[in-house]
Amino acid sequence: MADRPGSDIERIAKLRLIRSENVGPVSYRHLTARYRSASAALEALPDLARRGGRRDFRIANLAAVQREMEAVDAAGARLVFLGEANYPPLLAEIEDAPPALAVRGDIKHAHRRTIGIVGARNASAAAIRFARGLAADLGAADIVVVSGLARGIDAAAHAGALSGGTIGVIAGGIDNIYPPENAELYAALYERGLVIAEQPFGTEPQARHFPRRNRLISGLSAGIVVVEAAPRSGSLITARFAGEQGREVMAVPGFPLDPRAQGCNQLIRDGATLVQSAADIAETIAPFGAARLAAGGSRFSAPPPTDADDSARGAVTALLSLTPVAVDELVRLSGEPPAVVQTVLLELELAGRLARHAGARVALI
């Protein structure tokens, strides 16, 4: 394998950890903070899951993980792990930052000023022309454009930004080109931009993968610009993620009678910044300066190692239901230390009994 930061043994352990059953981005953070290494966390998984009520916990197969790493290399891509110096700095800030990313292209684009542009797949010709021109102007201002390599606005934004730098975030594995008609655009990004995937190599994109992809578009960006979006569209999901992540939310206004403009107009009515030019965007994201990009670290710290006894486990579990509740609320109501509450939640998640939701909320499955 190609030379990489850190030992190959620990990198393999990191990938095994995130590929193991019921281990998500948040639980990965807690596990690696608690056990100080992915190797030690792997050893602890079965016992933690047993405490949560699961006795048949499955750790990711070593040979399968090694094959995945080799396949990524063979495809001309590479893996970047959370905590490594070349991991995208703004993405590392979000609570559920992916522990492992497959990337192909120039990772340096993810360390520059970035703005996300998203919008309708069935966009109007005027909106496509505007998105392409806006992206070109942003590139001329040394701002990298992030989008989802989909039809319509995404493809237009990438095409316009090629000369200045652009990042495509995809819903499937790094080897999957979707939609197929964007194959030439993918090839252009491999050479002149960057393509990023969270899903394992070989994954075909499915409906549930696209919202997860959308949180990465916003997480990689100082702000999101929406260009044409119908109500309840994926673009509005991206805008919601941006707001939750502390990013700027911007929208291009449209004709009120066009359904494709209703989402943008609603965003503006709800407080999003109205933008008409690249200069508007540059002014809006000015607070995301070089110092913040250089800092590039997680704002989320896991509690120190603290085991939970049966009494604490019962107190926290009794407060949970199918309705999501904030973790801070569980701490307040249970009277248990935050580290103990997080341990109980980790055990339940590994056992497959707990789901994590946006805004640091959790619920029973």
What pLDDT, on a 0 to 100 scale, did the predictor assign at position 3? 38
Q: How confident is the model at residue 297 (pLDDT cuts 50, 70, 90)?
A: low
Task: Look at residue 160 and tell me whether its pLDDT is greater than 90.
Answer: yes
Task: Look at residue 109 and tell me whether its pLDDT is greater than 50.
Answer: yes
What pLDDT, on a 0 to 100 scale, did the predictor assign at position 4? 44
Give the CATH number of domain 105-295; options: 3.40.640.10, 3.40.50.970, 3.40.50.720, 3.40.50.450.
3.40.50.450
Q: What average pLDDT does this structure show over 306-311?
A: 88
Q: What average pLDDT does this structure show over 42-60?
A: 95
Q: What average pLDDT does this structure show over 150-161?
A: 98
Q: What average pLDDT does this structure show over 285-314?
A: 72
Residues 6+ apart with CB under 8 A from 3: none
What residues are paired with 273 via a beta bridge?
250
Closest CA to 151 of 113, 174, 189, 179: 179
Query: Span 310-364: which CATH code?
Result: 1.10.10.10
Task: Look at residue 9 and tell me whether its pLDDT is greater than 80.
Answer: yes
Poorest-pLDDT segment among 85-94, 125-134, 232-241, 284-293 = 284-293
User: What is the distance between the alpha carbons of residues 223 and 336, in angstroms, rounded to a whole number?
Assistant: 37
Task: Look at residue 165 and tell me whether its pLDDT is greater than 90.
Answer: yes
Percentage helix, strand, coil, to 5, in the chain? 45, 15, 40
Task: Look at residue 296 and tell me whether its pLDDT is greater than 60.
Answer: no
What pLDDT, on a 0 to 100 scale, did the predictor assign at position 298? 59
What pLDDT, on a 0 to 100 scale, did the predictor assign at position 2? 39
pLDDT tens per residue, range 324-352:
999 999 999 999 999 999 999 999 999 99
Sheet holding 325-326: strands in order across? 325-326, 361-364, 354-357
Does residue 3 sit in helix, strand or coil?
coil
Q: What average pLDDT does this structure show over 91-111?
A: 96
User: What is the distance between the alpha carbons of residues 172 and 183, in angstroms, rounded to a whole number?
Assistant: 14
More confident residue, 365 or 288: 365
Q: How confident is the model at residue 80 (pLDDT cuts 50, 70, 90)?
A: very high
Task: Look at residue 311 and tell me whether its pLDDT is greater than 50.
Answer: yes
What pLDDT, on a 0 to 100 scale, did the predictor assign at position 214? 97
Handedness of CA 207, 228, 226, 77 (dihedral sign): positive
More confident residue, 289 or 35: 35
Task: Specify the DSSP class assigned to residue 40.
Answer: H
Q: How confident is the model at residue 37 (pLDDT cuts 50, 70, 90)?
A: very high
Q: What average pLDDT does this structure show over 124-142?
A: 97
Task: Look at residue 303 and tell me whether its pLDDT is greater than 70.
Answer: no
Domain ranges of the chain: 105-295, 310-364
- Judge contact between 128 and 152, C-beta under 8 A: yes
- Mean pLDDT, rounded, of the chain: 93
What pLDDT, on a 0 to 100 scale, did the predictor assign at position 50? 96
pLDDT tens per residue, range 168-201:
999 999 999 999 999 999 999 999 999 999 999 9
* DSSP result, 175-213: T--SSGGGHHHHHHHHHHSEEEE-SPTTPPP-TTHHHHH
